[in-house]
Amino acid sequence: MEEGERREGVIAEVAPLIPTSRTYTFTVPEGIEQSLTVGQRVRVPLGRRGRLVEGFVVCLDRKVWDSTLRPIDSVIDAASFLTLDLLELGREIAVHYACPLGRTLKAITPEAVRRERGLKTVRYARLIQTPDEIRDSGKRIGKKRQAVIDVLANAVETFPVERLFEQTKASSVVLRAMVREGWVEIVARKQIVDAKLPGQPLVEPGFALNEEQRNALERINAEIDSNRFSVTLLFGVSGSGKTEVYIRAIRRVVSAGRQAILLVPEIVLTTQLVGRLASRFSDVAVSHSGLTDAQRSLLWHQVAAGDKKVIIGTRSAVFAPCPALGLICVDEEQETSYKNLQAPRFNVRDVAIMRGKQHGIPVVLGSATPSVETWYNSEHRSHYRRIVIHRRVKDLPMPDVYIVDMRDEFIEQKRVVVLSRLMERLLAETLHRGEQALLLMNRRGFANRIYCPACRTRIICPNCNVNLVVHTAGGQSICHYCRSRIETPTVCPNVTCGEKLIQTGLGTQRVEDVLTKLFPRVRIERVDSDTMRHREQYQRIVDDFEARKIDVLVGTQMIAKGLDFPFVSFVGVIHADTCALASDFRAQERLFQLVTQVAGRAGRADTSGKVVVQTTTPALPVLKHALGHDYESFATEELRSRQRVGLPPFRRLARIVLAHPREETVRREAEALYGRVREAIDSLSLAHTDVLGPTPCVLSRLRGKYRYDLLLRTLNASALRGLLCNLEESGTLRTKTESIIVDVDPVTLT
Ligand code: ADP
Ligand code: ZN
């Protein structure tokens, strides 16, 4: 074909999976023109050398094109598993989170489904001549051949080959011969292997909703019936019966023949919730990281076929390929684990809202401690509603919270202690009454600081500029960021010093250690990501604690979330401090959430609860609000200070992190980038938009790379999208550093 010759034909727009922000167009060869659909993966040639790369077809169009276009090389998927609405959602995520479309679509579709795991090829046979025609052919028909003809003549359409062999005792040689004669045809079809997912008997609790719950349910039902997009914040302390409200709202959706998605922050922490849902609906799909590939594939196809009505899961469940979605609920909407840690760095809660808008359906966000962004939105944005449940189910009183100033404790006891006297006394009383306790220590390990008292040398990770954490098991010290481990040193590595090293700083192991010495006969278990490597381990501890085979659980925030234990009457927070997070604009919010959540575990049944919070900063306003269970005052004050300094929700942020092995390079590149971004902002004359930095990150060195960041700040999301799009298209974000990350709506700034 001559250069520039024009023709008409089908053109495909393809988003490659390699990191490139744009899509490319190709012609569609005649052989596949009829069958190719949007969402299928294809191989296409890119670049001068025509390297073949994988990509998603994102648009098909009949157009006039010129001969410079190259054709698609080949088709990868037999059929598209990306529905049009998911493709649309992918586009929106790609734009909002400044992530290439191909990469975004890859994140949306599970690997297991793309690789067709759990699918096997099943062969079917069918007659293509009638038995009469075959007989009239005059060919010899033996007994085996006749048996095959008899079975196939009676089959509806096709008959599985495996079963044909079993029933007729014919061999594959016989069947092949019949194919050669032109009597029989074999067709191969990909089928799901039935990976059995555990089912559960259904039980319905006997109670009726209380008035506040009924009210909440009625309002959510009205949203469901209106067939409109809306976001409802369901705000109620833990134990106020929110989950019961989701369950019944989901039931309304399901009984109308539609599907519902319930998102939970972390499946391992929500086994009770999942169990509850599974016992209330017969067609629940639970998607979690413990599924095998075959199970994951199966689930996807069952959801896509509409066979599963309720989908519960963590991040990926928001992309469930539901053909008839009617509701999305997000439990504990404020959880930072909803943020994806790789590109696209989406927040599942926000993706749920995008999806709800796309489908025109309600989204319910539940929380006892909503993010202040959501709280603000529920007050100021027209498509938001807010429903408050004030009281706990059965009118349980809120626990009494006491604050202990650990500085006084140090002065009076003349030493650093792990448990204050009040904590020790109330804990002893609780155990004496045969009740249970939870102790929260938000750091793993034994000690997190090893230093030399003589020369002040600190032992830090060789790759990261952070303290190593001593883990007593095995005597090793571990970097919590890069996971590198060393034998814990005992003497100062400084050759001119050689003094004995000191270990300080608390961790869960240390707390466990102290407790075991104080209460030798008490049954204590520790729950953190060191001890809870598997779902089963966690489940066993939860079961044992429920069965009261354990008296005290010590753990990180894992114990603060989602559990409902009726015999816990005492909760202790060992170390409530924002120091470690002081650089983070969400530090106050996190502390409030943590203290409130863990306090909510105390006294859920007939025992009223007590909570002791130990801190060295008792004057912090957040602690005062947490003490009074006063979310609204906390939110009002926090929003006021966010407004004053220009942080979300009053501004939108995107953080750009550069990392490189050489500090000089990363600093220079960050400064140059800052200059270019500044210029772009000026030339676009964007109001209320600025760029802050560049500064070394709080984690200034990580996995052997130095890190610097810049912060983009705009008035709203669309301004941020516009700016990022401009920076991307103009090549402004190209740097000479080994990596550059753009994190839109960051949840942390470390
Ligand atoms: P939340 O999700 O707000 O923490 P849940 O829905 O889990 O609250 O309810 C807490 C506990 O109270 C659960 O064990 C639940 O079965 C029970 N419960 C919920 N609603 C009622 C009700 N109306 N009457 C009695 N018990 C209830
Ligand atoms: Zn490290």
Tens digits of residue pLDDT in 719-737? 999 999 999 889 999 999 9
> What proportion of the chain, given as a percentage, has pLDDT over 90?
48
| Nearest ligand for residue 210 CA | 1
Using the atom order of ligand 1, give the atom closest to the CA of residue 240.
Answer: 3
Task: Give the residue whose CA is nearest to atom 22 of ligand 1.
Answer: 209
Cβ–Cβ < 8 Å for 507, 443? yes
Residue 327 φ/ψ, nearest 5 degrees: -165, 145
- What's the Cα-to-Cα distance from 603 to each of 389, 427, 570, 698, rounded to whole Å? 18, 14, 7, 39
In the reported structure, the alpha carbon of residue 465 is separated from the centroid of ligand 2 by a whole-number distance in angstroms of 7
pLDDT at 536 over 80: no
Give the CB-side neighbour count of residue 642, counting CA atoms within 13 A. 23
352: exposed, middle or buried (Cβ count in 10 Å: 0-12, 13-18, 19+) = buried
pLDDT tens digits, 342-386: 999 999 999 999 999 999 999 999 999 999 999 999 999 999 999
Residue 452 φ/ψ, nearest 5 degrees: -95, 120
Distance CA(434)–CA(545), nearest Å, equals 13
Residue 723 φ/ψ, nearest 5 degrees: -65, -45
**Residues 728-749, mean pLDDT to the nearest whole number:** 92
**Residues 491-499, mean pLDDT to the nearest whole number:** 87
Residue 714 φ/ψ, nearest 5 degrees: -130, 175
pLDDT tens digits, 90-111: 999 999 999 999 999 999 988 8
pLDDT at 708 over 90: yes
Task: Give the residue whose CA is nearest to atom 17 of ligand 1.
Answer: 241
Assign 2 a pLDDT band (cuts: 50, 70, 90).
Answer: very low
In the reported structure, the alpha carbon of residue 484 is separated from the centroid of ligand 2 by a whole-number distance in angstroms of 6
Mapped to the 3 state alphabet, what secondary structure does 122-140 carry? EEEEEECCCHHHHHHCCCC
Distance CA(386)–CA(115), nearest Å, equals 42
The C-alpha R_g of the chain, in whole angstroms, comes to: 31
Entry field: residues in the chain? 750
Determine which of 122-126, 471-475, 481-485, 497-501 has the lowest per-residue pLDDT on average: 471-475
Residue with tokens 């904590």: 423
In the reported structure, the alpha carbon of residue 469 is separated from the centroid of ligand 2 by a whole-number distance in angstroms of 10
Residue with tokens 């079993």: 166
In the reported structure, the alpha carbon of residue 557 is separated from the centroid of ligand 1 by a whole-number distance in angstroms of 22
DSSP state of 603: S
Tell me, what's the pLDDT at 191?
A: 66
Residue 135 φ/ψ, nearest 5 degrees: -60, -40
In the reported structure, the alpha carbon of residue 393 is separated from the centroid of ligand 1 by a whole-number distance in angstroms of 6
Tell me, what's the pLDDT at 45?
A: 95
Using the atom order of ligand 1, give the atom closest to the CA of residue 245.
Answer: 6
Of 393, 394, 396, best ligand 1 pocket probe by most atoms within 8 Å of the beta carbon: 393
Tell me, what's the pLDDT at 270?
A: 67
pLDDT at 458 over 90: no
> What proportion of the chain, given as a percentage, has pLDDT over 70?
94
| DSSP helix/strand/coil, 615 | strand
pLDDT at 66 over 90: no
pTM reported for the whole predicted model: 0.85
Distance CA(492)–CA(513), nearest Å, equals 25
Tell me, what's the pLDDT at 687?
A: 85
Task: Put the strands of the sheet holding 476-478 in their side by side order.
Answer: 469-471, 476-478, 485-487
Tell me, what's the pLDDT at 578?
A: 62
Of 244, 565, 568, best ligand 1 pocket probe by most atoms within 8 Å of the beta carbon: 244
Distance CA(459)–CA(83), nearest Å, equals 52
Tell me, what's the pLDDT at 384?
A: 97
* Conformation bin of residue 615: beta by default, left when phi > 0, alpha when psi is -120 to 50: beta
Tell me, what's the pLDDT at 198?
A: 52
Distance CA(351)–CA(338), nearest Å, equals 10
Tell me, what's the pLDDT at 652?
A: 95
Using the atom order of ligand 1, give the atom closest to the CA of residue 368.
Answer: 3
Please state, as a whole number, how many other Cβ atoms lie within 10 Å of the Cβ of residue 157.
8
Please, which residues have CB within 8 angstroms of residue 33's CB and are 6 or more apart in sequence?
A: 9, 10
Do strands 24-27 and 41-46 pair parallel, antiparallel, or not at all (unpaired)?
unpaired
Using the atom order of ligand 1, give the atom closest to the CA of residue 247.
Answer: 6
Q: Which long-range contacts (CB under 8 A, 24 or more apart) does 498-502 make?
A: 499/452, 499/453, 499/454, 499/455, 500/453, 501/450, 501/451, 501/452, 501/459, 502/450, 502/451, 502/452, 502/453
pLDDT tens digits, 13-48: 999 988 777 889 999 998 888 889 998 999 999 988
Distance CA(444)–CA(36), nearest Å, equals 52
Determine which of 57-71, 288-302, 420-434, 685-699 has the lowest per-residue pLDDT on average: 288-302
Using the atom order of ligand 1, give the atom closest to the CA of residue 276.
Answer: 16
| Nearest ligand for residue 604 CA | 1
50: exposed, middle or buried (Cβ count in 10 Å: 0-12, 13-18, 19+) = exposed
pLDDT at 201 over 70: no
- What's the Cα-to-Cα distance from 518 to each of 470, 514, 554, rounded to whole Å? 22, 6, 14
Task: Give the residue whose CA is nearest to atom 9 of ligand 1.
Answer: 241
Choose from 200-209, 328-337, 610-619 the range with maximum mean pLDDT.
328-337
Q: Tokens standing for 258? A: 């539609």
In the reported structure, the alpha carbon of residue 346 is separated from the centroid of ligand 2 by a whole-number distance in angstroms of 26
Please state, as a whole number, how many other Cβ atoms lie within 10 Å of the Cβ of residue 155.
16
Q: Which element (helix H / strand E) includes 436?
A: strand 436-440
632: exposed, middle or buried (Cβ count in 10 Å: 0-12, 13-18, 19+) = exposed
In the reported structure, the alpha carbon of residue 462 is separated from the centroid of ligand 2 by a whole-number distance in angstroms of 6
Q: Tokens standing for 355? A: 């999806």
Residues with CB under 6 A from ligand 1: 205, 207, 209-210, 213, 236, 238-244, 393-394, 564
Task: Put the strands of the sheet holding 184-192 in their side by side order.
Answer: 159-160, 119-127, 184-192
More confident residue, 748 or 666: 666
Closest CA relative to residue 399, chosen from 602, 562, 552? 602
Angle between the 84-96 and 348-359 helix axes, to the nearest 10 degrees? Answer: 130
Output helix, strand, coil percentages for the chain, rounded to the nearest 5: 35, 25, 40
The DSSP-derived string for 292-338 is -HHHHHHHHHHHHTT---EEEESGGGGG---TTEEEEEEETTT-GGG
In the reported structure, the alpha carbon of residue 49 is separated from the centroid of ligand 2 by a whole-number distance in angstroms of 40
Please state, as a whole number, how many other Cβ atoms lie within 10 Å of the Cβ of residue 452.
20
Mean pLDDT, the chain, integer:
87
**Residues 623-630, mean pLDDT to the nearest whole number:** 87
| Nearest ligand for residue 463 CA | 2
